[in-house]
Amino acid sequence: VDASRRPKNSALEVDLDFEHNVRPAPVITEEVTASLEEMIKKRIAEGHFDDVEKPSTLPYKVPKQQKEMDENKSKKGLAEQYE
């Protein structure tokens, strides 16, 4: 049956059973807690961390060439300069 053949809102009155595709939450027991603690202690002892390490130096960039500026006032006006 598709939506066009059944009455509007008729599915609201019916108790539908369907399966969820979501994994259930893990049950936290003392064994699970102990195994997690052991794993953490082992990684700390080995010095194995998932932290991202900052690079020691940044890549070198060549500085841009700066043009020399002439601070003297021009003796020509703009009209004379563009003739």
Predicted confidence at residue 38, as pLDDT, reads 96
**What's the whole-model pTM score?**
0.36
Determine the Cα–Cα distance for residues 62 and 26; give it in Å rounded to an integer: 54
Tell me the pLDDT tens digit for each residue of 16-65.
787 778 888 889 999 999 999 999 999 999 988 777 777 777 777 777 88
Extents of the domains making up the chain: 25-49
Determine the Cα–Cα distance for residues 6 and 12; give it in Å rounded to an integer: 12
Predicted confidence at residue 11, as pLDDT, reads 77
Predicted confidence at residue 17, as pLDDT, reads 80
pLDDT-derived band at 1, boundaries 50, 70, 90: low
